[in-house]
Amino acid sequence: MASLFSLVLLSICLLSSPFLSNANAHTKLGFTTDLIHRDSPRSPLFNPNETPSQRLRNAIHRSANRVVHFIAKDASLDSPQTEITSNGGEYLMNVSLGTPPFPIMAIADTGSDLLWTQCKPCDDCYTQDDPLFDPQESSTYRDVSCSSSQCTALQKDASCSSEDSTCSYSMSYGDHSHTYGNIATDTLTLGSTNTRPVQLKNVIIGCGHKNNGTFNKKGSGIIGLGGGAVSLISQLSDSIEGKFSYCLVPLSSRNDSTSKMNFGTNAVVSGTGTVSTPLIQKTPETFYYLTLESISVGSKQLKYPGSDSGNGEGNIIIDSGTTLTILPTEFYSELEAAVKSSIDAESRQDPGSGLNLCYSATEDLKLPVITMHFNGADVKLNSFNSFIQVSEDLVCFTFRGSESLAIYGNLSQMNFLVGYDTVSKTVSFKPADCANM
């Protein structure tokens, strides 16, 4: 990390956000940073004693747990409180906080908004391997007052006591984990593959002083990349023209490539093979919603429930932190039957992962082509998007049923350049070789 931040810094004030004043509003950014999968050898969460099959099964179980928190959030439409899994998210980013820069390995999460980390003094905190961020050591750290626009932007997540005028936040998670602390502003530094790290000033952060539950001791915080007012995407606002994209390297990749996340001018997705679908605004605004119209298994097309009615808009969440693609139970059963009937082999189950539809991994196994038909965008999946090898002799379908919601997960997005334009309200997909980008 030291060598990363010894380079010349590109500095910009986050002043184009609606609750930040502006001296540099017209500065436009374009930069790319690494996304590190939590099971990569580069990740502090990497367990060298686990086999690839064990890591994959763990990711599948985390995916199932993460769904619970989307349900909890979606069920409370009158409350903007962020409900994410405490160890949710499959990708990490190297960032630094404060002046001088203090390195943090944080979860990059499109399913949450606030950027927060554990801070000194920590009165009631989970054990963390890395040193805690000390706000007193940062010359650019500033607590936020209760009357400020930064505090009111958090709405019901923020609170103020009569004894202290400092804005506080409190977040509870579905597994009873929690974080509580001060809302503040400080400088955030992102590593950039363009050789110059990008320094972002006046970023709204949560400085957690009471955090406990099932948080991983090797993680230092969360970078919220959702659609809410205090997410990093919203804070960057006009500086990145509402654009970010990522390219996720397949889990089967044998080289040491990392996935990439792009911002601003670097995030434009265009050219041959690009398709785009509307990005739908719904409550809660944290999540990114798309409209799925149907799914094809080979030449057989299955209409998605409610897609031909007025209330079918925004019927699936796209999320980089959920491993599997989750569909309504009844429709999933129909899809599974279509996939099963198109494969000339005996199906099996995998008790270790809980996946329903699996096959022996033989050389002559022929898998059908799965195509996702979003509104205006047909996304043809590769075989590694729709089937994953969970052991040496077993491959399983990467879709799963749920009673309550639908999520387009990261296995389905691998080797696609996926671009979000929050100004034009579109999400674009372009086939790509993400390991070589």
pLDDT digits (tens, 9 = 90+) for 377-427: 999 999 999 999 888 889 999 999 988 789 999 999 999 999 999 999 999
Cβ partners under 8 Å of residue 262, min gap 6? 30, 31, 32, 244, 245, 246, 247
Nearest to 237 by CA among 21, 9, 8, 5: 21
pLDDT score for 56: 73
Q: Which residues are catalytic?
A: 109, 319
pLDDT given at position 71: 53
What is the pLDDT at residue 66? 61
**Predicted pLDDT of residue 378:** 98
CB distance 267 to 419 below 8 Å: yes
Helices first, then strands: H and E counts in the chain: 5, 30
Q: Is the pLDDT confidence value at 227 over 70?
A: yes
pLDDT for residue 162: 57
Q: Give the pLDDT band of residue 36 (cuts 50, 70, 90).
A: confident
Task: Give the residues across from 430 on adjacent strands.
Answer: 417
| pLDDT for 86 | 34
Nearest to 62 by CA among 321, 320, 316: 321
Residue ranges in 153-290 assigned as alpha helix (H):
232-236
| Of 214 and 190, more confident | 190
Average confidence (pLDDT) over 262-282: 95
Mean pLDDT rounded to a whole number for the chain: 82
Whether 257 has a pLDDT exceeding 60, the answer reads: yes
Is the model's pLDDT at 247 over the cut of 70? yes
Quick one: what percent of the chain has pLDDT higher than 70?
A: 81
Using left for φ > 0, alpha for ψ between -120 and 50, and beta otherwise, residue 271 falls in: left
Mean pLDDT of 27-35: 81
Q: According to the model, what pLDDT value does residue 65 have?
A: 59
Question: Bigger pLDDT: 87 or 191?
Answer: 191
Helix (H) or strand (E) holding 386: helix 383-386
Nearest to 68 by CA among 150, 177, 151: 177
- pLDDT tens for 41-91 read 777 777 777 777 777 777 776 666 565 555 545 433 322 222 223 344 568
pLDDT single digits (tens) 313-355? 999 999 988 889 999 999 999 999 999 999 999 998 887 777 8
Of the candidate ranges 138-142, 362-366, 416-420, the one whose mean pLDDT is the lowest: 362-366
Beta strands in 273-354 (DSSP E): 275-278, 288-290, 292-297, 300-303, 316-318, 325-328, 348-350
Q: Largest Cα–Cα distance of the chain, in whole Å?
A: 71
The more confidently predicted of residues 286 and 176 is: 286
**In the structure, what pLDDT confidence band is assigned to residue 9 with cuts at 50, 70 and 90?**
very low
pLDDT digits (tens, 9 = 90+) for 89-122: 568 888 899 999 999 888 888 888 889 999 999 8
